[in-house]
Amino acid sequence: MNEAVETAKPAYPRNAIAWLTVAILFVLYIRSLADRYLMALLVEPIKADLGLSDLQISLLQGPAFAILYSICAVPVGLALDRSSRRWVLFLCIVVWSSGAAACGLAASFAILALGRSLVGAGEAGYTTGAYSIIGDSFPAERVSLAMSIFVMGGVTGAGVVFLLGGPLVGVVLDGAVSHWPGMGAFKPWQQAFIITGVPGILTALLVFLFPEPPRHKPAGTQAKGGGYGEALRFIFAHPRCFSAVIIGIGLVYTVTIALQLWSPAYLTRTYGWDPTQIGLTMGVAQMLPALSLPLHGWVVDRLYASGRTDAHLLWCLITLVLAAPFAVAAYLAASPWLTVVLFGIYMVFSLASSSMGPAATQVVTPPELRGRVSAIFVLVTGLIGMALGTFLVGFVTDKVLGDPQKLGTSLILLIVVVLTIAAILFATGRASMRRLVETKGGLS
């Protein structure tokens, strides 16, 4: 069935349907981040049971997840431009949920890495497909708000892991589910993965509750997309814009994700906090800032509608400059409560980039290339965001500083160096984005 709409003036779904789509994608994004971040609460029991180092944990939390996350975005991008996006999302959800459950069967570093890789493979297709569907559901002046609300689901998912997962992990580690049928053969940390991963498979059916939105292609174009050569040529023709949108956003991701994944271990090592304490406080510190995401989207939509065609990168630059000092201060603070509060303030500002990257990608990319350019965005930001920061923190702590208690120093070094580079990219990419949007006409 040809789902392309080949008209000069694009038709969008009814407002209620468009927002229903965002709501369902929002809920599923919470699910995906819950499976992704659960490991952050299980670092110490996994290390103790399998005899792993910080470097090995960083490989599990970063590269083991990110490599397949990024690689799988490439074929998924083609599939999204050529076939039903809902079916692609369905299969991706099944894959990541199965991978999350498989982590509970692992008894070695290699098997745990395999399970993490499956989680990454499935989640890559989900985010790419969701970006494409939302991009075809709203016009340019409304897409940033819609994308911000969707991305809020991801941040909320991370918060849910800590807020609800912390107490859940505490209960599971105390042996509360060991008497359940079949659970007695697994260690408590394995049980946590199993009871959270298996139910997720059924949630894949939610993607069939909203209709496939029409694809917005200019008159005369073909419904079926080509390969990646055309998308790459378009990106390389505008290097400063896409360096900011893809690499700059990826660098902000890498700092935020590293802080999310390593802060629980920092609070345990520095202040002796247990998973329940960490989960409740870090959950609130991430879920409350997530409420700011629609505000970021609203501000950028207003700026864009007023003629600031570089609004996305301008707002990323402003919020990054505001966020960085709070991140540094969080790991210099003399109190665990102050660390959590400062981390939360950092999140309020840094989350602007979480939705501005996907939104800017849709705005500057021609309609017929959005699936593939979104896939490239996911591929590169995934490699940078999920592999670089988490790995560097573990590497610096183990191999450079040589002391697990200096984890806070590693986090500060990452914040200062990486966010400085990101700010430079945002500043130098603004003019290129203005020219590109004004030449191409922006989101159709």
**Residue with more model confidence, 161 or 110:** 110
By CB atoms closer than 10 A (0-12, 13-18, 19+), residue 33 is buried
pLDDT tens for residues 200-240? 888 889 989 988 887 765 444 444 455 788 889 999 999 99
The Cα-based distances of 5 to 11, 215, 368 in angstroms read 8, 5, 11
The predicted pLDDT at position 9 comes to: 54
The set of residues, in sequence order, having a beta carbon less than 8 Å from that of 64 and lying 6+ positions away, is 112, 113, 116, 117, 120
pLDDT tens for residues 28-81? 888 887 777 788 788 888 888 888 888 888 888 878 887 777 777 778 777 877
By CB atoms closer than 10 A (0-12, 13-18, 19+), residue 73 is buried
Angle at 340 between CA 338 and CA 341, to 5 degrees: 65
Look at the domain 10-212+228-440 and name its fold.
Answer: Growth Hormone; Chain: A; (1.20.1250)
Per this entry, what is the length of the chain? 444
pLDDT tens for residues 1-42? 444 444 445 578 888 898 999 999 988 888 887 777 788 788
